Amino acid sequence: MIEFTFALAIGALFGIGVFQLLRRDLIKAAIGFAILFSAINLFFVAAGAFEGDFAPYVSNVEAQRQTSDPLVQALILTAIVVSFGSFSLVLGFVNIISRRYDTIDSNEINKLKH
């Protein structure tokens, strides 16, 4: 059941994220980007977190209990750091662009088009 809920949540987040990323408003696009990364992090969780009922401590492993997969959680931590870095960089760019172009409408930021 929980896996089905997860699948639904991942799908919904993906849809919302892609929709936001394609918006003309750059701040909304940046937030869509953050939503997409959360969708992928959830996908990572779903890939290994539901295998066991116990936290992956050494004591639990030694007691031969079915532990959940610790690696996905480590991967997500790294992915969160990376996505946070890119997200803040995007927001920084949008900030400077809004001052330089006096707009955050991506249709009007088209000086490169010849």
Partner 1 sequence: MANNPLLVGALVTPLIGAVVALIFAKSNRLQRSLAVLTGLVAWVFSIALLAQVHDSGIQTYALGNWSPPYGILLVADSLGALFAFMVTTIMIGGLLYTFHSHDKCMTYPAFVPLFLLMEVGLVGAMFTGDLFTLFVFMELMVLASVSLTAISDDQYGLEAALKYILISSMGTLFLLLGIAAMYATFGTLNMAQIAQILLTGDRPFLAPASALMLLCAFLLKSAVFPFHFWQPDFHTTAPTPISAMLSSIVVKVGVYGILRLVTLLFVEDAPVLEPWLSVLGIIGIIFGSLGALRTYNAKRMLAYSTFAQIGFILVGIGWGGTLALIGAIVYAFNHAFIKSSLLMLIGIVASYTKIKTANFADISGIGRRLPSAVGWLVLLGGLSLAGVPPFNGFISKLALIQGGVESGDWGNLIMMVGAGILTLMYMIRAWQRIFQQNPLPGAAETKSEGDSYFAPMLMIFVCLLLGTILAEPLIQLVSATVEQIQDPNLYIEAVYPRGLGQ
- Select the residue interacting with partner 1 from 40, 56, 60, 68 (CB under 8 A): 40
Strand pairing partners for 105?
25
Q: Which of 98, 114, 35 is nearest to 106 (CA)?
A: 98
Sorted by sequence, the CB contacts under 8 Å of residue 62 that are 6+ apart come out as: none
Task: Check residue 111 for interaction with partner 1 (CB under 8 A).
Answer: yes
CB 17, CB 39: distance < 8 Å: yes
* Site membership for partner 1, residue 86 (CB under 8 A): yes
Residue from 85, 103, 105, 108 binding partner 1 (CB under 8 A): 85
Interaction between residue 61 and partner 1 (CB under 8 A): no
Contact 35, 16 (CB under 8 A): yes
Among 6, 25, 48, 65, binds partner 1 (CB under 8 A): 48
79 binds partner 1 (CB under 8 A): yes
In whole angstroms, give the CA distance from residue 10 to residue 91: 24
> Is 6 near partner 1 (CB under 8 A)?
no
Cα 45 to the chain's mean position, in Å?
12
> Contact residues for partner 1 (CB under 8 A)?
21, 26, 29, 33, 36-37, 40, 43-44, 46-48, 71-72, 75, 78-79, 82, 85-86, 89-90, 93-94, 96-97, 100, 109, 111-112, 114
